[in-house]
Amino acid sequence: MIKVDDIKKDFPIFERKINGNKLTYLDSGATSQKPNQVIDVMSDVYKNNNANVHRGTYVLSSETTSKYEEVRVKFKKFINAYNSDEIIFTKGCTEGFNLLANSLCKNLNKDDEIILSEIEHHANIIPWQMAAKKYGLNIKYIKIDDSYNLDLDHLNSLLTSKTKIVSIVGESNMSGMLPNIKEIVSNVKSKSDAIFILDGAQLVPHRFVDVQDLGIDFLCVSGHKMLGPTGIGVVWGRKELWDSMDPVYGGGDMIEEVYYDKATWAPVPHKFEAGTPPFVEAIGLGVAAEYLMNITMSEVQQHSDSLREYAKSKLENIDGLNVVHSNSKNAGCTFAMSVEGAHAADISLMLDTYGVAVRAGHHCVQPFHRKLKLDATFRATGYIYNNEEDFDTLAYAIENSIKMLK
């Protein structure tokens, strides 16, 4: 079992007091906190190894290049990729989806179809909308049921010979919904030749994701949600797909030969990493992945499930609180909430007086909010450094806030 008190010692931010209270950080769905191990390794690179990667034969550059490329090997292990060359570094999931949309869609035919779902993050909607408009493609959306789960019968009805891309969330950043990805992939592949893309922004930090077992084609990961730094992410993809795709960004390091009138591309992964990469951030991400693997992702998942059950029982018993959360027994520890007659931002500000940090707004799932006839919600997400006491504090702060409003 995870010992939260021991883990918190690795995170310097928990030494802070907020409005005279200890910090109760429940906004890991937006960004996770960083352990000393990640902070220290990044500082050490700047102090002792800082030099551009792939650019020099001198000691500093060789050291940094080696550290940077080792992260691909670490991440291969973290998600059980087939090959470390399948790991492409990006700034995060948003850039990852833009990369995929711009490279994949240019090879599709007019009126080909892309399937998303009604609960997708804007990062998994906007790039496809832009590409659809550019190339004359159609987008369809999988409906959700009353329990905020994907309607798989509706998905099956959407699949046709024109379905070329299916891109869905692995864990809802609003309701905690966890679709059965393996089952969905099997259905999609049996009825179409579509490429299957998984949004792992919320899923990968909390559960072991085995890309080989799932049978998916691409996975987008956001580093800052899994204890890593901001400005770094990963897109994993099958190497044969990467090899067949054109690069989206041009410049240094992604080329093999350049002439005045043409150029040839470097092999994967460098073909998709133009310019100086965020190598220090990537090194930090590698340590974050190691940190989670040392705990083991099975323990991380078990902790999330246990904490979610406790939090659900606390929050759903608060009078006057509307909780948007999956009714499935298998879900993430994320709860979007609202109080009738009060804006989510005001509730969030009230909770902050108790030292409780939650996010308020539409959480980049505005269509989902609109579907539920909600302007905004405030959201709490638990992670490895949270325990039952944190959700006790949250519940106490919400109850008192509601009493004050009444």
Residues 221 and 359 in one domain: no
Residues 287 and 303 in one domain: no
We report the CATH number of the domain holding residue 12 as 3.90.1150.10
Residues 262 and 354 in one domain: no
Domain stops at, among 294, 324, 348: 294
Domain stops at, among 265, 294, 323: 294
pLDDT digits (tens, 9 = 90+) for 16-60: 999 999 999 999 999 999 999 999 999 999 999 999 999 889 999
What is the model's pLDDT at position 292? 98
pTM higher than 0.95 for the full model? yes
Looking at the domain assignment, is residue 199 inside a domain?
Answer: yes
Q: Which domain holds residue 94?
A: 51-294
Looking at the domain assignment, is residue 35 inside a domain?
Answer: no
Residues 161 and 286 in one domain: yes
Residues 197 and 340 in one domain: no
Distance (Å, rounded) from C-alpha 328 to C-alpha 332? 10
Asked, as a colleague might, if the bond just before 127 is cis with ω within 30 of 0, I would say no
Number of domains making up the chain = 2
Looking at the domain assignment, is residue 44 inside a domain?
Answer: no
pLDDT digits (tens, 9 = 90+) for 236-294: 999 999 999 999 999 999 999 999 999 999 999 999 999 999 999 999 999 999 999 99
Distance (Å, rounded) from C-alpha 180 to C-alpha 195? 17
Residues 89 and 189 in one domain: yes
By CB neighbour count within 10 A (0-12 exposed, 13-18 middle, 19+ buried), where does 259 fall? Answer: exposed
Looking at the domain assignment, is residue 41 inside a domain?
Answer: no
Which residues carry out catalysis? 364
- All residue ranges of the chain with pLDDT < 50 are none
By CB neighbour count within 10 A (0-12 exposed, 13-18 middle, 19+ buried), where does 374 fall? Answer: middle
Distance (Å, rounded) from C-alpha 401 to C-alpha 394? 10
We report the CATH number of the domain holding residue 281 as 3.40.640.10
Distance (Å, rounded) from C-alpha 11 to C-alpha 15? 8
Domain stops at, among 294, 326, 341: 294
Looking at the domain assignment, is residue 43 inside a domain?
Answer: no
Distance (Å, rounded) from C-alpha 395 to C-alpha 389? 10
Residues 313 and 279 in one domain: no
Residues 254 and 395 in one domain: no
Residues 60 and 148 in one domain: yes
Looking at the domain assignment, is residue 345 inside a domain?
Answer: yes
Residues 266 and 300 in one domain: no
Residues 99 and 214 in one domain: yes
Sign of the C-alpha dihedral computed for residues 363, 367, 370 and 372 taken in this order: negative
Residues 303 and 262 in one domain: no
